[in-house]
Structure 1
Amino acid sequence: MLRLLLLLLSTWTGSAMVRVALMRVPSIRSQLRTQGLLEDFLKDHRPDMFNRRYAQCFPPGTPSLRLRRSSEKIYNFMDAQYYGEISVGTPPQNFSVIFDTGSADLWVPSSYCVSQACAFHRRFKAFESKTFHHDGRSFGIHYGSGHLLGVMGRDTVKIGDMTILNQQFGESVYEPGSAFVTAKFDGVLGLAYQSLAEILGNPVFDNMLAQKIVDQPVFSFYLSRRTRTSNPQGELLLGGIDEAMYNGSINWLPVSAKRYWQVEMDSVVVQGGVSFCPIGCHAIIDTGTSLIGGPTRDVLRLQQLIGATPTNNGEFVIDCTRLSSLPRITFILGGKEYTLTSEQYVRKEPFGISDLCFSGFQAFDIISPEGPMWILGDVFLTEYYSIFDRGLDRIGLAQARHPIE
């Protein structure tokens, strides 16, 4: 009886532990391609073009407006895919958000937003919330598609059965570009460290810890593979770990810098041969991007090794008939090998009556005190259950348990 009681307590998922179902949709990049808008979008959003064209529209001194400064908080924003539901205000107003470990801010569209994108999404009506507190300060976040501008406020936020009081968040009043028009989600909920935040105040998970509403200072992600029949398509568990979502043991990696969820990586090896970052480098575990990113020089070489050919849109295509002959790519973290096959690192997208195959790797040059950085996004995280431990500042990875396809 005592063992049964302990088992029930260890698996309890009441108010101190909440499951958030995550939905997976075609990436914004894929949707723009299907609509024939991708090429024009990329022409209009070259680096710094948005800054030079619209900088005068933003408050002087907005930090993220500085030319040539990369303060992008969601890498490869157009490929963000997994989102879930939250509510803001009293009575609650519902929004779909990307739960993003690569940023630290919570924002949703404002009812006062002047952008075309806001017309296609749910907008927060501050005047209808009894618990809203106006802040008055403005904020700006620099994405690859341009700058998002908004004002700060505080209100009650609900995630599942959990209620976070006086949560600082942003109301966006300007959302740039057609990327936000196409996006299926309304906003973003960042889960990175506070030092990464543009909006002043505690990020959501920090407030959950301060208000003692989670069972453990931990959250974990399960992301499904590329299949529409997966149930769930993804899941975020706030306050704990779900042992049913992974196989084997957890490999724990200490956080190397408390900004992103950043760890040291031993190396990247192609089929046991060519090696990148052979003396070690750093990697960001990022649920806010679907791709795996790395330094331009390394990734271009990697594209050659897997037979990927560049397109006019900056993507790399692969002959779908050659997948079985492509090499395995292994990421070594904490002395443990995490290997992806071509079926796992190649993205298949329907195009007419056939499929297009795209490389799951993309070049990102991130300047950091630790040197070159890699980004392990959803291409990696669909294969590995990820655990983010704020109590001990570490990340756990284990083989994800997927249903047989």
Structure 2
Amino acid sequence: MKWLFLLGLVALSECLVKVPLHKGKSLRDRLREDGKLKDFLKTHQVNLASKYFPRLAAQVATEPMTNYMDTTYYGTISIGTPPQNFNVIFDSGSANLWVPSTSCTSSACSNHNEFNPSSSSTFQATSQSLSIGYGTGSMTGVLGYDTVQVGGLTVTNQVFGLAYTEADFFSQMPFDGILGVAYPSIASDGATPVFDNMWSQGLLSQDLFSVYLSANGASGSVVIFGGYETSYYSGAMNWIPLSSQGYWQITVDSVTMNGNVIACNGGCQAIVDTGTSLIAGSSSGVANIQNAVGAYQDSNGEYVVNCNSVGSLPDMVFNINGVQYPVPASAYINQNYCTLNVQQTPVDLWILGDVFIREYYVVFDRTNNYVGLAPIA
């Protein structure tokens, strides 16, 4: 099939370049004489691929991310014409893109980049309001449309939020806004996510993206749109079917430590969330984890362990779709403060945040509705 496809492209180019330029000598002959035939055929085949087989001309886009103290990972995008730059979290736990605007009245906007719609020749305003709540705060604003550039890709007519108000929490964050990469079904106000437009506009070779998060503040974190890179992981990539298509939600069969079930006995639901720093879970499950590692609550309300015991603590093992995914104590314990990187959620839903993702290269596959997990290399 592959070779027939390539031969078809060659046949198409043969048909098109044999049109005579003038009587007695073809375009092919003239290009051959001028030494330009090879370059012409190469360019022509690429153009044919773009016209008749647009996915062949699509690409894989790699967006570097900055690791901010192992708590937040963000990359740089641009919006508008000429482009205005913003640092954003690529958040698999939400589906909207928003950035601060010059109309924002909150102090949280004042120390961040703000989008100026009057400075963009391609901006299209709407009167549709936007309101999004997160676990750490909320934002309100209005929707607009403009050109968005991510990882070298140009997405046209992209809807995004212009924040008018932001929670104080955001003033302490190194990023300007959020680019959600979850399913469109959870997007506020029916906004089409950036990733969906990347695919529908023929910019990607595959309908998936992948994430590698570095540890210990190191550089090298990336989100790759349209593919995944085998050098980031070792062993086999295990594919886990989604249990719901809104968040990137999967079923966890159990959570064990030292072979004993400490959470999710009989199974529970979890989301793989690049926008959450910690691992979070049900109150009973987290309480069992706290007891298993001997954590106690300090005056700040955080759960801490004896720093000398970290090296002897067992792995926290997530059993998912028949495969074990261990998270070592060096990951679920903050090495600087000996605090537990696991917290309770108000709902019976586990969140596998950055503490988990740093241990595993993650592929988010929209074609098959899978999450792929493999140990980092």
- TM-score tier, shorter chain, comes to 0.7 to 0.9
Q: 2:306 aligns with which of 310, 315, 319?
A: 319
Correspondence for 1:167: 158
Correspondence for 2:102: 111
Which structure 2 residues correspond to residues 227-242 of structure 1 after superposition, within 5 A?
Answer: 228=217, 230-232=218-220, 234-242=221-229
The structure having more radius of gyration, on CA atoms, is: 2
**Aligned partners of 2:329, 2:246: CA distance in 1, in Å?**
31
Contact 1:248 1:398 in 2 (8 A): yes
Contact 1:168 1:200 in 2 (8 A): no
The CA deviation string for residues 72-100 of structure 1, in whole angstroms up to 9 with x for no partner, is: xxxxxxx5x00001000011000000000
**Aligned partners of 2:202, 2:372: CA distance in 1, in Å?**
22
The CA deviation string for residues 158-182 of structure 1, in whole angstroms up to 9 with x for no partner, is: 00210111111000011122x2111
Residue 24 (1) aligns with residue 67 (2): yes
Q: 1:95 aligns with which of 86, 102, 105?
A: 86
Residue 207 (1) aligns with residue 207 (2): no
Contact 2:360 2:373 in 1 (8 A): yes
Compute the displacement of 1:146 (Å): 3.6
Contact 1:389 1:395 in 2 (8 A): yes
The gaps in structure 2 that reach 5 residues or longer are: 7-55
Secondary structure of the structure 1 residue equivalent to 2:160 = strand
Correspondence for 1:59: none
User: Higher mean Cα deviation, 324-333 or 186-195?
Assistant: 324-333
The gaps in structure 1 that reach 5 residues or longer are: 7-12, 28-78, 350-355, 367-371
Residue 142 (1) aligns with residue 140 (2): no
**Aligned partners of 1:248, 1:122: CA distance in 2, in Å?**
41
**Aligned partners of 2:136, 2:256: CA distance in 1, in Å?**
32
Correspondence for 2:285: 298
Compute the displacement of 1:201 (Å): 2.4
Correspondence for 1:176: 167
Q: 2:75 aligns with which of 84, 90, 95?
A: 84
Contact 1:105 1:199 in 2 (8 A): no
**Aligned partners of 1:89, 1:21: CA distance in 2, in Å?**
21
Correspondence for 2:248: 261
TM-score of the aligned structures, taking structure 2 as reference length: 0.83
Compute the displacement of 1:325 (Å): 1.9
Correspondence for 1:45: none
**Aligned partners of 1:121, 1:343: CA distance in 2, in Å?**
33
Correspondence for 2:274: 287
**Aligned partners of 1:276, 1:397: CA distance in 2, in Å?**
21
Secondary structure of the structure 2 residue equivalent to 1:362 = strand
Correspondence for 1:270: 257
The CA deviation string for residues 270-297 of structure 1, in whole angstroms up to 9 with x for no partner, is: 1112332121111100000111110011
Compute the displacement of 1:200 (Å): 2.7
Q: 1:191 aligns with which of 175, 181, 197?
A: 181
Query: How big is the alpha-carbon RMSD for the aligned residues of Structure 1 and Structure 2?
Result: 1.9
Residue 339 (1) aligns with residue 326 (2): yes
Secondary structure of the structure 2 residue equivalent to 1:122 = coil
The residue type equivalent to 2:349 in the other structure is M
Contact 2:58 2:202 in 1 (8 A): no
Secondary structure of the structure 1 residue equivalent to 2:196 = helix
Residue 386 (1) aligns with residue 377 (2): no
Contact 2:254 2:261 in 1 (8 A): no
Residue 223 (1) aligns with residue 213 (2): yes
**Aligned partners of 1:148, 1:267: CA distance in 2, in Å?**
35
Compute the displacement of 1:312 (Å): 4.0
Secondary structure of the structure 2 residue equivalent to 1:388 = strand
The CA deviation string for residues 276-322 of structure 1, in whole angstroms up to 9 with x for no partner, is: 21211111000001111100111012111111112344321122111
**Aligned partners of 1:167, 1:270: CA distance in 2, in Å?**
45
Contact 1:170 1:199 in 2 (8 A): no
The residue type equivalent to 2:98 in the other structure is W
Correspondence for 1:377: 353
Compute the displacement of 1:151 (Å): 0.6
Correspondence for 2:47: none
**Aligned partners of 2:299, 2:193: CA distance in 1, in Å?**
38
The 3 A distance-change label for structure 1 pair 187 and 261 is same
Residue 310 (1) aligns with residue 297 (2): yes
Correspondence for 1:352: none
Secondary structure of the structure 1 residue equivalent to 2:195 = helix
- Misfit runs of 4+, over 4 Å: none
Secondary structure of the structure 2 residue equivalent to 1:357 = coil
**Aligned partners of 2:187, 2:58: CA distance in 1, in Å?**
27
Contact 1:136 1:152 in 2 (8 A): yes
**Aligned partners of 1:310, 1:281: CA distance in 2, in Å?**
26
